[in-house]
Structure 1
Amino acid sequence: MKLKLTALAVMLCCMLTSHAQETNSPKFGKGLFNLVGKDSSWTMKIGARVQLLGSTTWTENDGDLGNLQSSMLVRRSRLKFDGYALTPKLKYKLEFGLSNRDMSGASYYTHNSPRFVMDAVMKWNFHGNFVLWFGQTKLPGNRERVISSANLQFVDRSILNAGFNIDRDMGIQLHHQIAITKKFVIKEVLAISQGEGRNVTTGNLGGQQYTGRLEMYPFGTFEGKEDYMGSDLKRTKSPKLALGVSYDFNDNAVRTRSNMGTYMETDNGLFETDITTLFVDAMFKYRGLSIMGEYANRDADTPVAVNSDGTPTGDIVQVGSGYNLSAGYLFKSNWEVAGRYANTDFKEITGRDTTNEYTLGVSKYIVGHKLKVQSDITYADFAVQSDKLGWRLQFEIHF
């Protein structure tokens, strides 16, 4: 499979190189190629991005730091395609993840195949401000998760996102927005999805997943998509605030983190339980200052999976809560200093440790988020296990 993917990538590069001799390529960061049909009935922007990460971790032992562990890897490697078909009101997006981390998580339920399809979604603006999405893409969950990994303020997302996000799934979404006043705007999203996560090939295993999100913009909407980008790279001239709340109900969920985590297998098939997840978040930007806050809570009707005779299987729904607070300031030199505090507090039955993480990050934006170098240092304070100190350095290039 990896050989086939490599061959496909080589063929694609050859095709694009050949095409490049016949057309002008767009400005850096605007895609590798912007293709338009002769009759303007379709468009396709082709892009690529890579994240290269180096990290080092020390574990505390009797007040001293030791047990040094380090790694270097291709954190993300993506190909992206987007445009419209027949009419600008019918848009599409395709995104493929080609790194090992992008394709990880294969199981019996994905037929042990690399999960390289990230997004495959159509977006149909069928009436006014109503847009129907259908396909596989991110659910309208916590703000930090919906922000692209290419547009993060830190090297990577927080432990709140790692523990509680609801990620991608297959289904439909209805997006809408309305202006209450000249400035006050409200956006709504409703989603119905399969409930088992991305690239599942065995069909619907439990019930359906229902997600709703409401966002309020009391000072007007952000320029472009700045409400879903880390840092204030546009140095917003007037204060902008986005307030959001999401509620997710996964009916008869079969995984320990709603549509993510371990499948809860028993001696009589998969264990099912209703799981609910609540997110509350905010984003504020003004003249280089950016502030973001999030809260998450997950609960389940029956968090402990059991066999037919009532004995625990060992799988437990990761119930609990967490919060994430971050702030950064972008200097005129396009250097940024940012800080983040994140906490996860899972319930005792999960066996997981309460964690507090303190992160200090420094970023240099060479061409915005399209070409940047980021570094951060994180201290992880655990209630039971040994504390850890980590340092990361990451380079991102996005065509």
Structure 2
Amino acid sequence: MKKILSFLLFLSFTIALYPQVNENKVGFELGKGLNIQLDNGMHLFNIGGYLQMDATYSKYASEPGENRFGIQRGLFNIGGDYYHDKFGFMLQLDFADPYPLLDAWMSYKPVKWLKLSAGQKQSLAGPRSMLYDDQALNLGNRSLVNQTFFETGRELGLFVETRNKLGSVGIDLGVSVTSGDGRNSFGSSSTDFDLGGANYSARATLYPLGFFTGQNDLRGADFAREKTVKIALGVGYSYNDGVSNPIGQGHGDFILYDSTGTAAYPDYQKLSVDLLLKYRGFSFLAEYVNAVGNDLQNLYTAPSTNSKLQPKQIADYLRLGNGFTVETGYLFKNKWAVDLRYSTVCPEWDEKNALIEKASEYTAGISKYIIDNRLKLQLAGTYLDLPEDITNSHNWQAQFLVHVVF
């Protein structure tokens, strides 16, 4: 009898211990989604999303004001990693976009400091704010510069990223080879082929005072309230070998030809430089972008030899020029925040039909973060200044925004 009781006690003890050895957890937290941990956290799985709703009033100089109520972003994402972040994946959709697929990639980390990814994800060549997720922006919309030269900034291809430290200095490096046609780059059917050549991108970021706390370098506000000054100096570059889209993130928007009447496409390159600084709730971001066209000789606008592309005429097909953005903000301890942003673009040539007009944008916002960045209310105003010869050259916009990360 004692042996039986001893066996039962041993069996009960073993069963009690088993869930701790192979523990699985499921939990939901606003802003962090539904988290599933398997095998004591060896494998992680997350389901989340982001909803941005707004009420906007717009006033153009010579027209009556307009009201708009809508959902600017409705993101749903599924992601995870396996074997303690050795393998990872992400699928993200925006149901407020007619082409909802934003991100779809898988990754592998052979060592802790090296990440290899394949699929569709954010380009490495954009300025710092283009590396931010939509929900990480200080203000509801991306800057005039980012909207002009990058739009969503997604690319389809192969990505290599590294993070290392040299003493107290941090360094991020990344390179990618992508389709050169942006997201959904092969169109809506099997007959809608990729056009032009590949896009080659690289980015380097130096952290002279050490890395930021956690992911604080990938969001606008200083939620970590950095105890010492943190700085990130970045430079990004991309060379797109043949584009048929004004910014190289689509295809089939125009066709040019060579002297034989065969379709030919100009090359397109972008350079970005950025500076991010954060300290005790204060944040400052400055970004510069330059875009130029290359390989423009012997291009024709039609398959005939009397339609040669004229000097500066390439500005009718590509967004060429430069832009500058400066943004600053302060997040108070009571979770109120104020943000200011100035963004301006200037065309490479002042052509009549150029795709870029000289413009400046001024934006100010007051935000209340109710639960960190998970639930935010914001009131913002924007003034867009265009050249005087353009109808409605002075545009005003007021926006009340609610965003929820779940």
How high is the TM-score relative to the length of structure 1? 0.84
Deviations 1:335-371 (A, max 9, x none): 1111111101123231532101111111111112211
Task: Give the Cα–Cα distance (whole angstroms) in 1 for the partners of residues 317 and 95 of structure 2.
Answer: 31
* Paired residues for 1:7-22 under 5 Å: none
Matched, 1:124 2:114: no
Closer, same or farther: CA 148–292 of 1 in aligned 2, 3 Å: same
Deviations 1:225-282 (A, max 9, x none): 1111011122111100001000100001221112248721358675411101000011
Deviation digits for residues 99-120 of structure 1, max 9, x if unmatched? 1xx22xxxxxxxxxxx222111
Q: Measure how far apart 1:127 and its partner are.
A: 2.6
1:160 aligns with 2:145: yes
Q: Give the Cα separation in 2 of the matches to 1:138 and 1:228.
A: 12
Tell me how far apart the structure 1 counterparts of residues 276 and 73 of structure 2 sit (CA, whole Å).
Answer: 25
Q: Work out whether residues 194 and 207 of structure 1, in 8 Å CA contact, stay in contact via their aligned partners in 2.
A: yes
| Counterparts of 2:226 and 2:319, CA distance in 1 | 38
The one-letter amino acid of 2:288's match is Y
Please name the residue that 1:308 is paired with.
303
Deviation at 1:40, TM superposition (A): 6.2
Q: How does 1:28-177 map to 2 (within 5 A)?
A: 28-31=30-33, 33-37=34-38, 42-61=43-62, 66-86=63-83, 88-99=85-96, 102-103=97-98, 115-140=99-124, 141-165=126-150, 167-177=153-163
Amino acid aligned to 1:237: K
Which shows bigger deviation, 269-278 or 358-367?
A: 269-278
Contact 1:271 1:306 in 2 (8 A): no
The residue aligned with 1:380 is 384
Aligned pair 1:287/2:280, yes or no?
yes
Q: How does 1:218-367 map to 2 (within 5 A)?
A: 218-260=208-250, 263-265=253-255, 271-301=264-294, 302=296, 306-309=301-304, 310=307, 315-346=316-347, 347-349=349-351, 350=354, 352-367=356-371
- Determine the C-alpha separation between the residues in 2 that align with 1:259 and 1:191: 15
* Residue segments in structure 1 that go unaligned for 5+ positions in a row: 1-21, 104-114
For 2:274 and 2:70, how far apart are their aligned partners in 1?
A: 31
Instruction: State how many pairs are aligned.
Output: 359
> The residue matched to 2:181 in structure 1 has which SS?
coil
Shift of 1:41: 6.2
Alignment-mate amino acid for residue 331 of structure 2: L
Question: 2:25·2:37 contact (CA, 8 Å) conserved in 1?
Answer: no
Name the amino acid aligned to 1:185.
G
- Change beyond 3 A, Cα 1:305–1:371: farther
**In structure 2, distance between residues paired with 1:155 and 1:42:** 34
Once the two structures are TM-superposed, the CA of residue 38 in structure 1 deviates from its matched residue by: 5.7
Range 199-208 or range 364-373, more displaced: 199-208
Letter in 2 for 1:80: N
Of all paired residues, the percent bearing the same amino acid is 26
The one-letter amino acid paired with 1:377 is G
Partner of 1:195: 180
Letter of the 2:400 partner, please give it: L
Unaligned runs of 5+ in 2: 1-23, 187-191
CA radius of gyration, larger in: 2
**Given that residues 153 and 230 in structure 1 are in contact (C-alpha distance below 8 angstroms), is that contact kept between their aligned partners in structure 2?**
yes
- Is the aligned partner of 1:394 residue 2:394? no
What is the SS of the residue equivalent to 1:255? coil
Displacement of 1:151: 0.9
* Residue deviations 1:71-120 (CA, integer Å, cap 9, x gap): 11111111111111355210111111111xx22xxxxxxxxxxx222111
